[in-house]
Amino acid sequence: MGHWQDKAACLDADPKLFFPSKGETVAFAQNYCEVCPVRLSCLIFAIENHIDHGIWGGHSERSRRKIKKRGEFIA
């Protein structure tokens, strides 16, 4: 890991929180993201790298697709 990841609020969290199984809540992951100082960097990383799974920057896969589709993010 380097640069922005070293400052992530989730650095010591269980990664399973950010990759919930179908039907599991994403609220625990989003609680970390809500207070994270690098939330936007994390979201941008996921979108730029076409990451299709998990919670990144407080957003689910579906949410990231909507952001990209609406043109809110231009890679």
Quote the domain boundaries for residue 7.
3-69
State the total domains in the chain. 1
Report the alpha-carbon distance of residue 16 to residue 2 in Å, rounded: 21
35 in any annotated domain: yes
C-alpha distances (whole Å) from 1 to each of 7, 22, 26, 59 are 10, 28, 24, 21
74 in any annotated domain: no
pLDDT in tens, 26-66: 899 999 999 999 999 999 999 989 999 999 999 999 999 99
- Model-level pTM? 0.85
